[in-house]
Amino acid sequence: MSDILVDHFGRLHNYVRISVTERCNLGCQYCNPGRVEKAVEGNPLTFDEIERIVRVLAEMGVTKVRLTGGEPLMRPNLEELVARLRAISGIERVGLTTNGLLLAPKVQKLRDAGLTDLNVSLDSLIPERYSRITGGGDVSKVLHALAAGFKAGFEVLKLNMVLMKGVNDDEIESFLQLTQKYPLHVRFIEYMPMGHDINGWEAGYMPLDGILERCAKAGFSLEADPDPGRTTDEPTRKAADSGPARYFRIQGAAGQFGLIHPVSQHFCNSCNRLRITANGHVKPCLFWNEELYIRPYIAQSELLKQLFLRALEAKPGQHIMMDQPGTKPPLKATMRLMSQIGG
């Protein structure tokens, strides 16, 4: 049996997202509504355990790792883990997803340790609104962190903006304007049914299809794709790094914007990732409740490989998510909070 991570549907899995903590310093309504500042289920995986897991996964074809949480920067000395993972043969990229509040004083060390990709979650540019959405966050610290990220040597930074109807959908144009001025990739993400919110998610759900219309109304012209086979209203795309986003560029802009449609236009047929929770559960699908606990077997490389392959066997061809408001949630839908998975 091959050890390469290919599932029943022919999808090659070369990307793993690892949560390093469930703790977070914010209480975002769609992710961590109860503000889980203490790990819920025991101690998180140690750096040694994470390194061991990634070494095994690298032997199975994984080339990219992303560290998530919770808020991963609440884990002390994270730059040490970044350096250890970058030193593993076969690992080409190590990324981080953060809310940015703790980033500014740490970003240079992370960059020096070998961090290649940096995503910052930012759902509003309005201070009072940002504080309300996040349960008390200070947006000025996030903006300062972005400036520090560019100073540290990141040529491009990604901003993740979860679009919520009636909450922040009036800020679409403001986020688009950021891409005109700065080399930012702003990714608009559909609000998703997760954990506690699985039965009430439609109140905040808003499909992303209207964003291109908003571009036109605001007078933004989309730049033609250099690929002559595409028309000017089709997305630009970097296949190696773009993941599920469809990217567009406003004419003359320094950055880009992307649309991520996990609900209305799922991208399951190209899914290439596994997720590992902070306490050692493998989740083959973000929206599926199936998990496999691997922590007791981390020291046994061959057994660990078989467990990863077994986890892939449980991965569905596509998630059964409610693509229309009012749809009843599937029985196997995940009941974990996003902060307990790592996104």
Q: For the chain, report the end-to-end CA distance as a whole number of angstroms.
A: 30
Query: In the prediction, which pLDDT does 230 show?
Result: 41
Q: Where are the domains of the chain?
A: 15-341
Residue 324 has pLDDT above 50, yes or no: no
pLDDT band at 237 (very low <50, low <70, confident <90, very high): very low
Residue 203 has pLDDT above 80, yes or no: no
| Edge-first strand listing for the sheet containing 15-19 | 246-248, 256-260, 184-190, 157-163, 117-121, 93-98, 64-68, 15-19, 273-276, 281-283, 292-293
Higher pLDDT residue, 170 or 236?
170
209-238 mean pLDDT: 68
| 261 close to 190: Cβ distance less than 8 angstroms | yes
Looking at residue 97, the DSSP 8-state letter turns out to be: E
pLDDT tens by residue, 15-40: 999 999 999 999 987 776 655 554 45
Read off the pTM.
Answer: 0.86
Query: In the prediction, which pLDDT does 48 show?
Result: 99
Q: Is the dihedral of CA 33, 276, 247, 138 positive or negative?
A: positive
Q: Which fold has domain 15-341?
A: TIM Barrel (3.20.20)
**Residues in CB range of 160: below 8 A, 6 or more apart:** 97, 119, 120, 121, 122, 187, 189
Residue 296 has pLDDT above 70, yes or no: yes
SS3 of residue 19 by DSSP: strand
Query: In the prediction, which pLDDT does 288 show?
Result: 75
Query: In the prediction, which pLDDT does 232 show?
Result: 44
From the list 108, 93, 94, 96, the residue with the least C-alpha distance to 147 is 108
Query: In the prediction, which pLDDT does 314 show?
Result: 85
Q: Look at 97-111, 261-275, 295-309 and tell me which has the smallest mean pLDDT.
A: 261-275
pLDDT tens by residue, 123-157: 999 999 999 999 999 999 999 999 999 999 999 99
Residue 1 has pLDDT above 70, yes or no: no
Query: In the prediction, which pLDDT does 337 show?
Result: 56
Element (H, E) at 76: none
Query: In the prediction, which pLDDT does 192 show?
Result: 72
